[in-house]
Structure 1
Amino acid sequence: MYTVFSVFAATSDPAAFKPFLCVPARPDRAYFPDGVELSYGHIARQVFALRDRYRASGFGHGHRACLLLENRPDFIVHWLALNSLGVSIVPINPAYRAAEIEYLIAHAEPDLIVTLHDQRELQKALTGAVPVLEVYGDDLGASATHIPLAKRPPPRAGEPGSETEAALLYTSGTTARPKGCILTNEYVISTGRWYIGRGGEATYHTGAERLYSPLPLFHMAGLTLTPIAMMLTGGCLILPERFNAKFAWRDIVACRATVLHYLGVIVAALLAQPETPDEKAHALRFSMGVGANPEQRARARDRFGIPFVEGWGMTETGRSPFNTVEPRHLETNTIGRSEPGLEMVILDGDDNPLPPGSVGELCVRHSEVTPRRGFFSGYLKDPDATEQAWRGGWFHTGDSAWQHEDGAFVFVDRLKHLVRRAGENISAAEVEAVLTTSGLVKQAAVVAARDPIRDEEVAAFIVTDDGAAASRELAQDIFQFCRERLAAFKLPAWIAFVTELPLTSTNKIQKHVLLGADRDPLSHPGMIDLRQEKTNAIRQSN
């Protein structure tokens, strides 16, 4: 039996004086503006003290706590303290608006909300039913001296273990609302262990790695891959508040990073930056991630001098394949191979296996005997969706792929109606649901538009209510309506007004014909570009 906390504790004792968390300097930041490096022993002392205060307030096994703590070390400290007691965390995206937070709280039913001071969108969403603990500055839990008492039933009997819920992570799906993925301690730890065990060009060395992870802690990769990888190997997690291409190489050099975790948008942004001496002066040995195409990876390898090892993953599966075994077929979006512990197959629409070279749905499992071992435990309050995803003993990813004759799998595209913008999965149905509540909109269809930097952007096709005249001013009015109800990264970057949406004989929208195969927003006549408005909204929300 093991937990995230027990993994940390097993490392923090022998590695007490070694660095665990490193925060790059940023003079304009509200916490650790000069940067900081925190040892395993220092973090352990904060965790133990905070654990005792949480326990004294009645929190324990079976409870849940929402964390709205951004990418700060405080997040890690509170997570470890809560995990030691068997309390599951529910990370909240800091970009969420009040309506999105309100839904998450109602669905997750937390026993506590831990938040930074003065989070206005959270304050709008609160009803007073859930106790709130406010965290100030960069005190690593020291301000949590007056933790509110737990209001709900007392903790479950028994100590937390590998099957205890460690996190409830919300992921965008094809429905209008995000699904809550239940993740156990086994899921979290096996995901991190799998990540460091890929070998080849992505070989980790115990006690020697410093991993630069610009991914948010409310994402699967930022929560489970990179922090657990460092806990298991006694390495140091470098934790910027967010990815910033302007400062990335400076931070990587100053923090002596040896590994970089990337998303496709990160690689594209780095390549778009002017050359700098730091991009050659770094100590990186390799980079691991998802979403970079072959051309980007080749250019990045040549320019930055390190391999970019591509993989694939999603919240439900945890463990992710990476392309480390020869032949690697670097000219394609090869993501790895089937192996014990993560078996992969390509199935057709009737769930029959397809031969090599045929495009179908990528499906995965642990093994035939224990297909769900180490995967998510299910969608909270939605057993039907869980069983549908696991039909036939395979988890259906909703992604299309094909397989080489030698067994290597190649990612093609998403079958689900998701927009993957800069690493964020945006539910088209969620944006459509907001659009259609506007009195200006009769019908709406949201699709993914190709974007050279962010991979994809949100494009909305709108039939106006009462035949309102299409104009840029109308598009901006609809944009502002959405801005009050959606996180900025979900807002439409392109809007096109149409007289009707293309429908099938069963009245389903034919989204694939709206932009065509190339998904170029400029290919549609009358498309209105709102990217600058979206950029401004994102900047103002940060």
Structure 2
Amino acid sequence: MQLKDSFYDVFLESAGAFQDKPLLILPQRQADAWGVPIEMTYGDTLEQIQGLRRQYQAKGLRAGDRVALAFESRPEFVYHYLALNGLGVCVVPLNTDLTVSELSYQIGHARCGAVIGLEVLEKQLASAIEATGREVTLSTHGPEGLGTIWRANDIVTPQSPLQRAAAILYTSGTTGKPKGCVLTNVYLQESSAYNVRMPGHLAFAEGAERTMNPLPLYHLNAMVNTLGAAILTGSAYVMPGRFSATNWWNDIAETKTTRFKYLGIMIPALLGQPESARDRESGVTCAFGAGVDPALHERFEKRFGIPLIEVWGMTETGRILIVDREPRHIHTRACGRPQAGLQARIVNDAGEPVPDGTVGELVVRHSAENPRYGFFDSYLDDPVATEAAWEGGWFHSGDLCTRAEDGMFTFVDRKKNIVRRSGENISSAEVEAVLVECPHVKQVAVMAAPDELRDEEVLACVITTGDDVRDHALALSIFHFVQERLAYYKTPGWIYFVDELPVTGTQKVQKHRIFPNGFNPNVPHIHDLRSYKRWKK
């Protein structure tokens, strides 16, 4: 593939070739809620982007500036993202489900000069900016509302447009605060192209595919993989907003969706809908995602006639493993094989390859000659963490897997200190850091508890201070303390009061010894708080 200076240039080429084809499609219910058309062609989208680009340029935005975007998963995100990309501006997509302090951290850490977003988010964004202590300009009226752009003096902008930071996506790490993954224009193009290179039976039909993705645009999956692949192939990106099991099949029929993206949490929700004669008449040919429960995989495919193609990927890699052919081993957690442009293997703690069938860490690279090509550029302002991730010339995923003789990789467990809930990676260390500030908490260990609906749930094992009565009221008090400080999905769904935590000789908590025989929700002093976790805008 011949790389261009920016993904904006890639879009220009596709807009010329597919001018009258739809790029963005919405169900009527979502178009009405957002006050936008149900369909935007490549030509329509080009007009929007070009207009915004001229306005941003007139406001003085230039290559190297950093602008945070708060448009949720609406069409406006696409317009502003590509318009800014055309000026060499780095975008920082914000998850507005986060608290003010969490948003403030990302805006400040990325050293954003401006925040552009929806008018309904103005109060939240203004509070987040105020907490940074910087003169960051805010506009909820696009370029027209922009004031002076604040610029950090130490941001270096590479002369090559391809090597410039095009986006910074925040992903949870194991050290508490989220890490900012710096993505270049090379990454955006190579990642999009890799996700298009499917084997024949899964290949994109140029100018014809319609991919529905309910995942948020501040994630790689939607912003790069889905939108990027659509643009490269003249296809359409169907934007249904937040996942809704009750509206799912109606939305698919209305938008004439041909394929969709999923998370494991979606599958039981869809299976829980009443059976219908149209279950096998959706028109969808295949779906791509991760984390489907092996016990439900075959049941879903038999009912709906849609193969669920499991993949593995990370923001850092941009590329995926994919279960590309039969046998797909749908009764296991098989997560795929690498395609051309990605190499993968399993290693032990010393970084040495292990025999097939042995559990070890999954490591990946582009090639021996150029291992980092097309991967993320770095963790923002954290060269130590960046180099540690690339130890030995391979990117260390932190996931424990096995490899079979036929090249199939199967997921076993996570090595990193992460709770994966409904597709969100939650840092245990981040939640622990908040909990230890609670006056009722003396010591705490946060870990993952299995959850039938959401894959995993946040479990906090707490040693209390003083003589507190370890009852449900205390658990709820601790829950609300966290709820006020972190996004709703990060709050503990379970709180388990313990007398002590198992530790090593160096006082490191051994979490695997808390439930040595597996999580047990029936032990004394454990409190189920999952019903209190509710998304609120």
In the TM superposition, what are the counterparts of 1:528-539 in structure 2 within 5 Å? 528-535=527-534, 538=535
Aligned to 2:97: 95
Matched, 1:147 2:146: yes
* 3-state secondary structure, aligned to 2:279: helix
2:245–2:273 CA contact under 8 A, matched in 1: yes
1:61–1:159 CA contact under 8 A, matched in 2: no
Residue 339 of structure 1 deviates from its aligned partner by 4.6
Relative distance call for 1:156 and 1:437 in structure 2 (3 A) is closer
Residue 30 of structure 1 deviates from its aligned partner by 4.0
Residue 161 of structure 1 deviates from its aligned partner by 2.7
Aligned to 2:163: 163
Q: Take 2:456 and 2:34, find their aligned partners in 1: how far apart are those partners? A: 32
Aligned to 1:45: 47
Relative distance call for 1:45 and 1:391 in structure 2 (3 A) is same
Q: Which region of structure 1 is more displaced relative to structure 2, 350-359 or 239-248?
A: 239-248
Q: Describe the superposition over 1:107-166 as per-residue Cα deviations: whole angstroms up to 9, x where unpaired.
A: 10011101111423322222261011114xxxxxxx543432323279988976322211
Aligned to 2:303: 303
In the TM superposition, what are the counterparts of 1:251-400 in structure 2 within 5 Å? 251-400=251-400
Aligned to 1:406: 406
* 3-state secondary structure, aligned to 1:145: helix
Relative distance call for 1:517 and 1:194 in structure 2 (3 A) is farther
Aligned to 2:16: 13
Matched, 1:243 2:243: yes
Q: Which region of structure 1 is more displaced relative to structure 2, 178-187 or 147-156?
A: 147-156
Q: Describe the superposition over 1:494-531 as per-residue Cα deviations: whole angstroms up to 9, x where unpaired.
A: 111111111111111111122345334x1433210111
1:98–1:125 CA contact under 8 A, matched in 2: yes
* 3-state secondary structure, aligned to 2:85: helix
2:431–2:490 CA contact under 8 A, matched in 1: yes
Matched, 1:133 2:139: yes
* 3-state secondary structure, aligned to 2:437: coil
Q: Which region of structure 1 is more displaced relative to structure 2, 240-249 or 381-390?
A: 240-249
* 3-state secondary structure, aligned to 1:399: strand
Relative distance call for 1:27 and 1:404 in structure 2 (3 A) is closer
Aligned to 2:466: 466
Q: Which region of structure 1 is more displaced relative to structure 2, 114-123 or 247-256?
A: 114-123
Aligned to 2:210: 210
Relative distance call for 1:517 and 1:79 in structure 2 (3 A) is farther
**Structure 1: tracts of 5 or more residues without a match:** 136-142
Q: State the AA in 1 paired with 2:308.
A: F
* TM-score in terms of structure 2 length: 0.95
Residue 361 of structure 1 deviates from its aligned partner by 0.3
Relative distance call for 1:514 and 1:201 in structure 2 (3 A) is farther
Q: State the AA in 2 paired with 1:489.
A: Y
Q: Take 2:495 and 2:5, find their aligned partners in 1: how far apart are those partners? A: 50
Residue 302 of structure 1 deviates from its aligned partner by 0.7
1:19–1:37 CA contact under 8 A, matched in 2: yes
Residue 335 of structure 1 deviates from its aligned partner by 2.0
2:23–2:41 CA contact under 8 A, matched in 1: yes
1:210–1:235 CA contact under 8 A, matched in 2: yes
Aligned to 1:86: 88
Residue 411 of structure 1 deviates from its aligned partner by 1.2
In the TM superposition, what are the counterparts of 1:403-442 in structure 2 within 5 Å? 403-442=403-442
Q: State the AA in 2 paired with 1:152.
A: R
Q: Describe the superposition over 1:302-324 as per-residue Cα deviations: whole angstroms up to 9, x where unpaired.
A: 11111111110111111011011
* 3-state secondary structure, aligned to 1:477: helix
Residue 167 of structure 1 deviates from its aligned partner by 0.6
Q: Take 1:510 and 1:250, find their aligned partners in 2: how far apart are those partners? A: 48
Matched, 1:188 2:188: yes
1:201–1:309 CA contact under 8 A, matched in 2: no
2:96–2:103 CA contact under 8 A, matched in 1: no
Q: Take 1:470 and 1:409, find their aligned partners in 2: how far apart are those partners? A: 44
- Figure out how many residues of one structure are paired with residues of the other and give that number: 529
1:66–1:113 CA contact under 8 A, matched in 2: yes
**Structure 2: tracts of 5 or more residues without a match:** none
Relative distance call for 1:152 and 1:415 in structure 2 (3 A) is same
Given the alignment, which residue of 121, 124, 127 partners 2:127? 124
1:202–1:309 CA contact under 8 A, matched in 2: no
1:86–1:159 CA contact under 8 A, matched in 2: no
Residue 277 of structure 1 deviates from its aligned partner by 4.3
1:253–1:278 CA contact under 8 A, matched in 2: no
Q: Take 1:426 and 1:157, find their aligned partners in 2: how far apart are those partners? A: 31
Q: Take 1:158 and 1:510, find their aligned partners in 2: how far apart are those partners? A: 44
Q: Take 1:434 and 1:28, find their aligned partners in 2: how far apart are those partners? A: 38
Aligned to 1:480: 480
Cα RMSD between the aligned structures?
Answer: 1.9
Q: Take 1:99 and 1:501, find their aligned partners in 2: how far apart are those partners? A: 30
Q: Take 1:516 and 1:91, find their aligned partners in 2: how far apart are those partners? A: 40
Q: Take 2:457 and 2:200, find their aligned partners in 1: how far apart are those partners? A: 34
Q: Describe the superposition over 1:15-34 as per-residue Cα deviations: whole angstroms up to 9, x where unpaired.
A: 1111110111227964137x
2:183–2:377 CA contact under 8 A, matched in 1: yes
2:157–2:164 CA contact under 8 A, matched in 1: no
1:70–1:94 CA contact under 8 A, matched in 2: yes
* 3-state secondary structure, aligned to 1:318: coil
Q: Which region of structure 1 is more displaced relative to structure 2, 424-433 or 334-343?
A: 334-343
* 3-state secondary structure, aligned to 2:495: strand
Aligned to 1:497: 497
Q: Take 2:230 and 2:296, find their aligned partners in 1: how far apart are those partners? A: 27
Relative distance call for 1:159 and 1:378 in structure 2 (3 A) is closer
Relative distance call for 1:448 and 1:47 in structure 2 (3 A) is same
Q: State the AA in 1 paired with 2:440.
A: L
Aligned to 1:527: 526
Residue 41 of structure 1 deviates from its aligned partner by 0.7
1:362–1:399 CA contact under 8 A, matched in 2: yes
Q: Take 1:349 and 1:337, find their aligned partners in 2: how far apart are those partners? A: 22
Q: Take 1:153 and 1:363, find their aligned partners in 2: how far apart are those partners? A: 35
Matched, 1:24 2:27: yes
Q: Which region of structure 1 is more displaced relative to structure 2, 344-353 or 506-515?
A: 506-515
Identity rate of aligned residues, in percent?
42
Q: Take 2:42 and 2:75, find their aligned partners in 1: how far apart are those partners? A: 12
